Amino acid sequence: MWIPMMMAQTGIEPSIVLPPELARVLSDYESAWRAKDSTSLSKLFAEDGFVLSSGHPMVRSRVAIERFYREQGGPLFLRAVAYAAEGKVGYIIGGFSNKAGAEDLGKFTLTLRREAGGLWLILSDMDNGNRGRP
């Protein structure tokens, strides 16, 4: 059953609690990013996954993602504002910051795919900042 968890349409979106199997995706992402561990970060993605970062061309495949994220990282705090999951597909929409409890610096959407054995992997990671372009 497709169960969307949507919040208010305007203003600052409140954080929501994710089911543990989806929360793991965000906590593992934070841990790998903070450790600047591009190998661990890339393993959170499906083999045919995408990174769709603002200001960069598309990155496709776990190998290319590991290379793209090499030497990147630092403080990262992710929060979910919406999610849904049904069968083998799902998504998480949220915000990110470099300090716990701070105003979001940007937002993201993760498209997820459940692999054999039940592990959720990232099929696509799209993010962009909250500051307007000059």
89 falls within a domain: yes
- Domain-located, residue 13: no
The total number of structural domains that make up the chain = 1
On the question of pLDDT at 40 being above 90, the answer is: yes
Tell me, yes or no, whether 10 lies in a domain: no
What confidence category does residue 132 fall into, taking pLDDT thresholds of 50, 70 and 90? low
Report the chain's mean pLDDT, rounded to a whole number.
92
Position 26 pLDDT exceeds 80: yes
| Alpha-carbon gap, residue 55 to 57, rounded angstroms | 7
pLDDT confidence band for 12 (50 / 70 / 90): confident
Q: What is the Cα–Cα distance from 88 to 81, expressed in whole angstroms?
A: 21
Position 75 in a domain: yes
59 CB-near residues (< 8 Å, 6+ apart): 50, 51, 52, 53, 65, 68
pLDDT interval class at 133 (50, 70, 90): low
Q: Which of 21, 75, 66 is nearest to 40 (CA)?
A: 66
- Express each pLDDT in 57-81 by its tens digit: 999 999 999 999 999 999 999 999 9
**6 belongs to a structural domain:** no
Kindly tell me if the per-residue pLDDT of 6 is higher than 60. no
Q: Is residue 134 part of a domain?
A: no
What range does the domain containing 25 cover?
Answer: 20-129
Q: What is the pLDDT of residue 134?
A: 52
Q: pLDDT band for position 9 (50/70/90)?
A: very low
Percent of the chain at pLDDT > 90 equals: 87
Q: Model-level pTM? A: 0.89
Task: Give the domain CATH number at 97.
Answer: 3.10.450.50
Average confidence (pLDDT) over 24-52: 98
3 within some domain: no
What pLDDT, on a 0 to 100 scale, did the predictor assign at position 91? 98
